[in-house]
């Protein structure tokens, strides 16, 4: 009998609890009740709110950039209004709305974030004119979701940029970091909205200088250029450290930085611009397969790597594309072109002793069975030095035997590699050692800097001059003191010496980028 009464009492408690007698309002209900002094929030029903939230999500998510991430976050938090609960009362959501409204200083349009709608929803919730608690559910749900979406978009745009350049440019090989779902979920679950909003703001001097110039510029084309380069600075690039080499293609210049100081700076020649109407011409080539239809594209790729070796008296392994488009025709036109140019020909990796006897008319240039290498020496197209770094495009920095190119205003003239104006000075900085530098100088017949090294320098010259022994000039490898980060990039506006420097958009990359980001303005 005793057990019967205990069971009856337990059942009664379960019943009373399910009927809501001991039910506490969820945290959002308590927060809004305390804030508004309105007791209707004590009746906040999580089940009823959840139904409204799900419907609101279904309506709004179609316009979200990261709908699955947002759904995942709220699913893990029982669809509770996390942002409104934490950040409405302390006015942090108002601060979010203010940051969104002021996003024009970054070139964004506040309408992207539905800023006015968020501000209106905050006002409606703050005015507290609801007669019944369920009237607040759609306001809370919409404010929550629009705030979450705007918060993520705003942070991602500032931290990672509006677009992924690797999806836009075919020769952009720099691995930029992009937003990930775990990071976004962590952001939504953060404890301090205002601190996060402040942390998103770009801090670099370059960005701030471009931003100031943008806010004061009157000319629309100038504003476009400034915005484009602000966007480039927002891309999350690999860490170069404070000691690195940068090649800026539009500036035709290599600069070695040590923190903010310049170690060395010099002119460069870069790859030539692709043919006009390249895309449509390439489609024709893709269908025909005829090399005569193939449009030229020698643009230097954008990449990040580390310079890991120097080759003195380099051999030029001539790319297939150059062999087909140039070497083949020169050899057909002049049977002695190859030997006079110190170009060796290989068939199945075996050296052909007399390349001048090859009947080139027998071979189709699109199926050439030969490989071509230009030997070391004064006539080598790479000059006396090649600076090597890992990359998938067979690109390197090198000297050149044609110095006239450095006198041109538009130095986009190479096949894609980067010719540098002062290779010897660059090599000296890389080896960063007097003994190694003198060895390197000796390889290119230059006297040593250290007089104690004169003896072996003269010995080398004597060996080279000995007519009784065949002296063969060969490549010699040198290692830098430490691998130096290299960034080949594309910047058309930057701050320098208190003013903004502008450079022509030689590859048309500004035009392509503007087409991608103008919808955000």
The pLDDT value recorded for residue 173 is 97
Listed in sequence order, the DSSP H helices in 277-370 are: 278-288, 320-322, 328-333, 337-340
Cα 376 off chain centre by = 36
Active site residue 298: no
**CA-wise closest residue to 125 among 159, 81, 165:** 81
Cα–Cα distance list, 517 to 21, 109, 500 (Å): 56, 11, 22
Measured CA to CA, the distance from residue 284 to residue 465 in angstroms comes to 55
DSSP string covering 484-506: EEEEEE--SEEEETTEEEE---T
Q: What is the pLDDT of residues 127-159, one digit of tens each?
A: 999 999 999 999 999 999 999 999 999 999 999
The pLDDT value recorded for residue 183 is 97
Residues 271-284 have a mean pLDDT of 94
Measured CA to CA, the distance from residue 393 to residue 413 in angstroms comes to 17
DSSP reduced 3-state for 109: coil
Q: What percent of the chain has pLDDT above 90?
A: 83
The pLDDT value recorded for residue 489 is 98
Measured CA to CA, the distance from residue 377 to residue 201 in angstroms comes to 53
Tokens of 465: 């001059």
Give the gyration radius of the chain's Cα atoms. 33
Q: What is the pLDDT of residues 453-480, one digit of tens each?
A: 888 788 878 877 766 655 578 899 999 9
Q: What H or E segment, with its residue span, contains residue 385?
A: strand 385-389
Residues 89-118 have a mean pLDDT of 98
For every residue of 174-220, which 3-state class applies, written as one string? Answer: CCCECCCHHHHHHHHCCCCHHHHHHHHCCCCHHHHHHHHHHHHCCCH
Choose the catalytic residue: 106, 298, 417, 453: 417
DSSP reduced 3-state for 371: strand
Tokens of 354: 């007399």
The pLDDT value recorded for residue 335 is 87
Measured CA to CA, the distance from residue 497 to residue 30 in angstroms comes to 57
Count of C-beta atoms within a 10 Å radius of residue 385: 24
Measured CA to CA, the distance from residue 285 to residue 275 in angstroms comes to 13
Q: What is the pLDDT of residues 286-305, one digit of tens each?
A: 999 888 899 999 999 999 99
Active site residue 453: no
All residues at 6 or more sequence positions from 507 whose CB lies less than 8 Å from its CB, including other chains: 249, 250, 273, 274, 299, 412, 490
pLDDT of 13 higher than 90:
no
The pLDDT value recorded for residue 466 is 66
Burial of 222 (0-12, 13-18, 19+ CB in 10 A): middle
Q: List, in order of start, the domains of the chain with CATH numbers.
A: 27-200 (no CATH), 240-315+375-490 (2.40.440.10)
Choose the catalytic residue: 224, 298, 398, 453: 398
């Amino acid at each position: 009998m005793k057990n019967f009464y205990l069971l009856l009492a337990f059942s009664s408690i379960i019943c009373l609890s399910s009927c809501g007698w001991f039910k506490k309002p969820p945290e959002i209900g308590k927060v809004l009740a305390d804030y508004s002094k309105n007791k209707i929030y004590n009746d906040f029903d999580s089940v009823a709110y959840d139904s409204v939230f799900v419907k609101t999500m279904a309506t709004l998510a179609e316009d979200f950039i990261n709908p699955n991430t947002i759904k995942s976050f709220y699913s893990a938090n029982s669809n509770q209004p996390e942002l409104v609960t934490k950040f409405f009362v302390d006015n942090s959501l108002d601060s979010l709305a203010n940051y969104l409204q002021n996003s024009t200083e970054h070139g964004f349009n506040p309408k992207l974030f539905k800023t006015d709608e968020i501000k209106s929803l905050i006002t409606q919730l703050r005015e507290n004119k609801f007669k019944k608690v369920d009237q607040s559910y759609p306001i809370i749900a919409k404010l929550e979701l629009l705030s979450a979406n705007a918060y993520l978009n705003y942070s991602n745009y500032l931290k990672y940029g509006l677009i992924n350049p690797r999806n836009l440019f075919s020769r952009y090989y720099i691995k930029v970091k992009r937003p990930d779902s775990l990071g976004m979920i962590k952001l939504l679950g953060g404890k301090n909205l205002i601190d996060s909003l402040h942390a998103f703001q770009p801090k670099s001097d370059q960005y701030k200088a471009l931003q100031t110039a943008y806010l004061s510029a009157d000319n629309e084309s100038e504003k476009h250029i400034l915005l484009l380069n602000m966007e480039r600075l927002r891309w999350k690039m690999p860490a170069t450290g404070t000691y690195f080499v940068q090649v800026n293609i539009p500036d035709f210049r290599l600069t070695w930085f040590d923190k903010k100081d310049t170690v060395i700076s010099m002119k460069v020649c870069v790859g030539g611009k692709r043919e006009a109407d390249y895309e449509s011409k390439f489609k024709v080539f893709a269908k025909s397969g005829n090399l005569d239809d193939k449009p030229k594209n020698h643009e230097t790729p954008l990449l990040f790597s580390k310079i890991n070796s120097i080759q003195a008296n380099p051999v030029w392994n001539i790319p297939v594309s150059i062999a087909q488009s140039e070497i083949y025709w020169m050899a057909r036109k002049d049977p002695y072109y190859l030997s006079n140019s110190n170009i060796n020909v290989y068939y199945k990796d075996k050296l052909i002793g007399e390349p001048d006897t090859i009947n080139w008319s027998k071979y189709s240039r699109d199926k050439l069975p030969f490989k071509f290498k230009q030997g070391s020496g004064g006539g080598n197209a790479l000059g006396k030095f090649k600076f090597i770094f890992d990359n998938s495009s067979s690109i390197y920095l090198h000297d050149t035997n044609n110095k006239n190119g450095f006198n041109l205003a538009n130095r986009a003239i190479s096949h894609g590699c980067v010719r540098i104006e002062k290779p010897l000075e660059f090599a000296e900085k890389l080896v960063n050692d007097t003994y190694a530098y003198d060895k390197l100088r000796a390889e290119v017949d230059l006297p040593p800097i250290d007089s104690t090294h004169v003896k072996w320098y003269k010995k080398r010259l004597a060996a080279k001059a000995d007519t009784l022994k065949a002296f063969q000039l060969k490549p010699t490898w040198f290692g830098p003191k430490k691998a130096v980060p290299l960034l080949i990039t594309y910047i058309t506006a930057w701050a320098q010496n208190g003013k903004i420097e502008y450079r022509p958009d030689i590859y048309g990359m500004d035009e392509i980028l503007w087409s991608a980001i103008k919808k955000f303005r």
